[in-house]
Amino acid sequence: MSDVVLRAEHVSVEYAGPRPVRAVRDVTLELRRGEVLGIAGESGCGKSTLAYALARMLRPPAGLTGGSVRFRGRDGAEVEVTALAGEDLRAFRWTRVSMVFQSAMNALNPVTSVGRQFRDIFQDHAPQLDGSAIDRRSRELLEMVNIDPGRVRSFPHELSGGMRQRVAIAMALALDPEVVIMDEPTTALDVVVQQEILDEIERLRAELGFSVIFITHDLSLLLEISDTLAVMYAGKIVELAPTEVVASAPAHPYTLGLLRSFPDMRGARRELRGIPGTPPDLRQAIGGCAFAPRCDYAFEPCATVLPERSGQAACHLHNPALRAGGPPPQLSGGRAALREAEGTR
């Protein structure tokens, strides 16, 4: 499991303009072979931009301004993703790292059949396949995601939302990639279909052994599906740890806020509050912690000193040099401590 397939170091992305938007700021993370890495955060936190950067799919005005992404294949081949260009880049994309785009509803071409869209992929990336081989492979892929292979003749509008999402997943898996990036793959679907798709992703991953970067604003989903969880805020990863640890002992106040943002379906009714305020404007320089203005626990250094992640969270509360007493009980570990703190509130 410690076999790392994708490693990003100090990645930064900017959207060019008169006042550039620093959408991703100095992100370092690792994706291990076969794991699901969840990236959670609210709209505009840079999670999709980060995904596009990792897959080298950024389009102007967005551009990588720093850092490196390194890919290590099953065959041991090392690829410096950030240095790829031209034919090499084309060969890398979709073959090694593919993507399931946000709202598959719109990611499919409405005027051509599903089969035709599969053919596009193979003609570009696997020119050695002839027509009948492409057809056979397309049907196999549809069957793999539990869609009737006869649907190769269907047009996207003839499929339900869940089926379109399955087709998009089948397309991402067409070239047997080692990493699949899923950007909000279930957001437009209702709960029953969402659960089916998640089950499907789990099954395929177990069968085919690819790694997944799963991006969503819905933390509750990631608690279910991911092995490792990264929480992003204002372009930075503020917390990164195994999912169980984040769920039971969140260390960053933002994560704690997110965990409290969805009502428990079966638990006792309690007052629910979300996270008041809005994220900062990423066109402006941010001195100190970007979350400080919305943070219940902010103290003096938060406004001026940028917290670096050492261990689980990028938060001054966990820095003994700045806070001698240690973090408040809500953030010092354990669901039990959390419950207790809430009970006395």
Residues 160-179 that bind another protein (CB under 8 A): 160-163
Q: What Å distances lie between residue 30 and 209, 263, 287, CA to CA?
A: 17, 31, 27
Q: Does 143 bind another protein (CB under 8 A)?
A: yes
Residues 273-312 that bind another protein (CB under 8 A): 273-276, 278
Least separation, in Å, of the C-beta of 16 and another protein? 20
Q: Does 195 bind another protein (CB under 8 A)?
A: yes
Least separation, in Å, of the C-beta of 297 and another protein? 16
Q: What Å distances lie between residue 309 and 59, 121, 240, 246, 250, CA to CA?
A: 29, 40, 9, 15, 14
Among 140, 148, 158, 281, binds another protein (CB under 8 A): 148
Least separation, in Å, of the C-beta of 329 and another protein? 20
Q: Which is nearer to another protein, 8 or 23 (CB)?
A: 23
Q: What Å distances lie between residue 44 and 22, 69, 143, 242, 248, CA to CA?
A: 11, 22, 36, 24, 26
- The single-letter code of the amino acid at 205 is R
By three-state DSSP, how is residue 136 classified? Answer: helix
108: which 2 tokens? Answer: 């499919």
Number of residues that bind another protein (CB under 8 A): 48
Least separation, in Å, of the C-beta of 163 and another protein? 8
Residues 76-135 that bind another protein (CB under 8 A): none
Q: Does 203 bind another protein (CB under 8 A)?
A: yes
Among 37, 169, 189, 282, binds another protein (CB under 8 A): 189
Least separation, in Å, of the C-beta of 165 and another protein? 12
Q: Does 345 bind another protein (CB under 8 A)?
A: no
Question: How many helices (H) and strands (E) are present in the chain, helices listed first?
Answer: 11, 10
Q: Does 4 bind another protein (CB under 8 A)?
A: no
Write out the DSSP string of 173-208: TTT--SEEEEESTTTTS-HHHHHHHHHHHHHHHHHH
Q: Does 21 bind another protein (CB under 8 A)?
A: no
**Residues near 87 by beta carbon (within 8 Å), at least 6 away in sequence:** none
Q: Does 37 bind another protein (CB under 8 A)?
A: no
Among 70, 217, 309, 323, binds another protein (CB under 8 A): 217
Q: Does 264 bind another protein (CB under 8 A)?
A: yes
Q: Does 218 bind another protein (CB under 8 A)?
A: yes
Across the chain, the runs of DSSP E, i.e. the strands, are: 4-15, 21-32, 36-40, 62-72, 78-80, 97-100, 179-183, 211-216, 228-233, 236-242
Q: Which is nearer to another protein, 11 or 225 (CB)?
A: 225
Q: Does 154 bind another protein (CB under 8 A)?
A: no
By three-state DSSP, how is residue 58 classified? Answer: coil
- The single-letter code of the amino acid at 255 is T
Sign of CA dihedral 39, 41, 42, 44: negative
Among 158, 199, 281, 340, binds another protein (CB under 8 A): 199
Q: Does 1 bind another protein (CB under 8 A)?
A: no
Rounded-to-integer distance, Cα 324 and Cα 156, Å: 59
Interface residues toward another protein, by CB under 8 A: 42-43, 143, 146-148, 160-163, 189-195, 198-199, 202-203, 217-221, 223-224, 243-244, 247, 257-259, 261-267, 269, 272-276, 278
